[in-house]
Amino acid sequence: MSIAVIDYGAGNLRSVVRALQRIGAPLEVTSNPNAVIAAPAVVLPGVGATRDTMQSLEQLDLVAAIHEVIARGTPFLGICVGMQVLCDQSEEFGPHPCLGIVGGAVRRLPSHLKVPQIGWNQVCYMPHAARHPLFAGIDDGSDFYFVHSYYCDLTDEHDIAATTTYGLAFPSVLIRRNLAAVQFHPEKSGHYGLQLLTNFIRWAGVA
């Protein structure tokens, strides 16, 4: 069966699809909630604003489908804004609710920094997550490619699998049971980005 890559109009969709195709992942690009629910694994890519993303997911009736697959134990990977919308709420362009799957809020990076953060930065593992299958073959402190102005301020430290420092240390990888999400763009992160996507496919059991 094919991984469902959710199409809600995200600008990086094609890049994510090309990266998954490069590693030989079976996939279906879809905005159909039933196809998402039936998939053995799900990827939610994202760029842009959380408010726009939530509006698109709501208009496509994908909110309930995302909740269902995560609650059921389907392996799920959120990328960039696909990580941020998992939080309770976001302050981007004014406070608004997000999916509420993990506790926390999406907050703007400190104002004294050059924002957005664009470029390579280190991803450093938390001790409790360092041996997670998602990180297989990827050295602690490896560089990944970021493009973002906001970050997830998570309430449960156990959800934080890795951090990155840009003015402050923020969660750059979230892992909770079958749920994984990354603030960076693995599809733009060269060898290690492809390795992380490969690891997700193997972890999901669809390799």
For residues 176, 86, 193, 169, the Cα torsion angle rounded to the nearest 10 degrees is: -80
The amino acid at residue 138 is I
Task: Respond yes or no: is residue 98 known to be catalytic.
Answer: no
Q: How far is the C-alpha of 53 from the C-alpha of 39, rounded, in Å? A: 21
Query: Pick the catalytic residue: 87, 98, 148, 187?
Result: 187
Beta-carbon count within 10 A of 123 CB: 25
Tokens of 65: 């489908």
The amino acid at residue 122 is Q
Task: Respond yes or no: is residue 58 known to be catalytic.
Answer: no
Query: Pick the catalytic residue: 80, 87, 98, 152?
Result: 80
Cα distances (Å, whole numbers) of residue 144 to 10, 92, 147, 183, 191: 20, 24, 10, 10, 10
For residues 120, 148, 54, 90, the Cα torsion angle rounded to the nearest 10 degrees is: 130
Query: Pick the catalytic residue: 87, 148, 152, 185?
Result: 185
Task: Respond yes or no: is residue 92 known to be catalytic.
Answer: no
Phi-psi region of 164 (alpha: psi -120 to 50; beta: other; left: phi over 0): beta
Q: How far is the C-alpha of 195 from the C-alpha of 201, rounded, in Å? A: 10
Q: Known catalytic residues? A: 80, 185, 187
